[in-house]
Structure 1
Amino acid sequence: MNGFFGFFENLHSIIHPYWCDGWMLIKSCGEIFIIFILLYTILRIMQGTRGAGILRGLAFTLVIVTIVILFFIKKLELYTVNWLITEFLPVFIIPVIILFQPEFRRALIKLGQSPFFRMFVKSEISVAKEIVRAVTALSENKIGGLITIEREDGLGHYIDGGVKINSNISSDLISTIFWPGTPLHDGAVIVQEARIAAAGCLFPLTENENISKTCGTRHRAGIGITEEADALSIIISEETGLISVAVGGKINEDVTPDELRNELERISTGTVKENRSG
């Protein structure tokens, strides 16, 4: 029982100076609030990435461990432990950055898509506009094409297997790539971070037997890549000129240019739906 009351006496001795000194209390509450806002902002930015759950667990563990360690350091006067933590804790920042590098990269991409930073970069809407313009022209002229947009899952392997372009997106360039007779006509164009990364890329074909019999090789390739990654594929039929969109291994056929524009704009806000009918 003495130990039980002793704990609360120790807790009271820690809290009492803050409670008596109004300015110290306000300052401490302000610091806690700032730390909370920083952690909340980081978790919100990384929401949806595969490392978000790990980061939440890591953040919670670090907070609890830090509180416990600081309490025992103060009570037991563990100055050597305090020195070790002060000197070597920053070293662990580098392994954490390496471990969560993909998540930090995606978080920075999301941060760059925020309204504040969009004032300084090319608008996502103009990129969608160029793609829709190119797709509409290909559709009207019944020129086949396959455009795949990278999202969270990287498509570096397929980019390396194609012809690297690394160019700004323009409707004229896309139309030229898919013009009949050109060397890259039969492959896919991959869009990565609002740029044309490569053309002439080859994808695995879907083996889904429920896909419509009207879907040819280009459509099956467009669906196949979305079965392996969370990419979005735009397919233009060479026979009919119809536009199709594939997401999550399923395809939505006969999409209008306006519907396609809405779909591309949803990509930039991370709200693309994956419950397509097929």
Structure 2
Amino acid sequence: MLGEGFSLFNLLRFTVDIALVWYVFYKLIMLLRGTKAIQLLKGIFVVFIIYLISYFLNLQTVQVMIEQIIVWGPLAVIILFQPELRRALEQIGRGSFFSRNRRSEEEIFRESLDAIIKSVNYMAKRRIGALITIEKETNMGDFIQTGIPINGQLTHQLLTNIFVPNTPLHDGAVIMKGNQIIAAACYLPLSESPFISKELGTRHRAAMGISEVSDAITIIVSEETGHVSLAKNGELYRSVDEKRLIDLLSKELAPELAKISTFKQWSWRGKKK
């Protein structure tokens, strides 16, 4: 019985040990993702493969060279990637290295929402027509293919510039996902609903059309009046002000974040702290 208990304890300890190591590696990869350090990891993997090949083929010269790289490699890594290492140590010191990225998700959404609101306000004041569709769960691939690929980071400058009149991309819809502008000049299906007001133009009908066949959110800026509207789930919210637009986007795109009191306080102001 004692032996079984001891074996069970060793198994549990081994499992915890492996899990911790994998978790640390996962957090490191997430930390380094998108930086030049990720290329270093690929390089280390290639060197390791070359070393194994040279070992089995008995390529002594190659082995000696790789052994020298292994000896001096750690020092070179510290020198070349000092900023990344410092950032990792700072995150460990703040305790954020082992925490979930809730705060970063909130910050990303705040920045995206702020960019959208700034762009919409700018275009509404100047009566620049715009059609902005934000993808949710329903895949928008078929509609993205009708436009011009952008695949760029969302900024209010980029979003606004797309809709400047008489430019190649201004006619059609922008399709976004998260904080990325996926494509511009996309064609959306027009709604054939008889309940849409006759005074509404093609942009509003396109916004209603896409909301009837997907769960996407679409913002419309009227070129004639400068009024801002929002379409979702076959419904059209006309002439929404900034406060209402922020509230609708927050509830639809980040319902969990919208419940956070600090996020609500920020969103009602319509700007970052």
- C-alpha separation between the residues in 1 aligned to 2:133 and 2:120? 12
Which residue, 222, 231, 252 being the options, matches 2:237? 252
Asked whether the equivalents of residues 143 and 241 of structure 1 are also in contact (C-alpha less than 8 Å), the reply is yes
User: Structure 1 residues 171, 210: closer, same or farther in 2, change over 3 A?
Assistant: same
User: What letter is aligned with 2:249?
Assistant: L
Which residue, 150, 170, 187 being the options, matches 1:185? 170
Is 2:152 aligned against 1:129? no
Counterpart of 2:231 in 1: which secondary structure? strand
Task: Report deviation, 1:120.
Answer: 6.9
Which residue, 159, 180, 186 being the options, matches 2:144? 159
User: What letter is aligned with 2:159?
Assistant: I
- C-alpha separation between the residues in 2 aligned to 1:128 and 1:242? 18
- C-alpha separation between the residues in 2 aligned to 1:231 and 1:190? 9
TM-score by length of 1: 0.55
User: Structure 1 residues 160, 259: closer, same or farther in 2, change over 3 A?
Assistant: same
RMSD after superposition? 3.2
Q: Which runs of 5+ in 1 are unaligned?
A: 1-23, 25-113, 272-278
Task: Report deviation, 1:121.
Answer: 7.9
Asked whether the equivalents of residues 244 and 255 of structure 1 are also in contact (C-alpha less than 8 Å), the reply is yes
User: What letter is aligned with 1:123?
Assistant: I
User: What letter is aligned with 1:144?
Assistant: G
Asked whether the equivalents of residues 125 and 265 of structure 1 are also in contact (C-alpha less than 8 Å), the reply is no
Asked whether the equivalents of residues 129 and 261 of structure 1 are also in contact (C-alpha less than 8 Å), the reply is no
- C-alpha separation between the residues in 2 aligned to 1:200 and 1:242? 21
Q: Which runs of 5+ in 2 are unaligned?
A: 1-7, 9-98, 257-273
Is 2:131 aligned against 1:140? no
- C-alpha separation between the residues in 2 aligned to 1:216 and 1:181? 19
Task: Report deviation, 1:270.
Answer: 3.6
Q: Which runs of 4+ in 1 moved over 4 A?
A: none
Counterpart of 1:261 in 2: which secondary structure? helix
Which residue, 195, 213, 235 being the options, matches 1:210? 195
Which residue, 196, 219, 223 being the options, matches 2:204? 219
User: What letter is aligned with 1:236?
Assistant: V
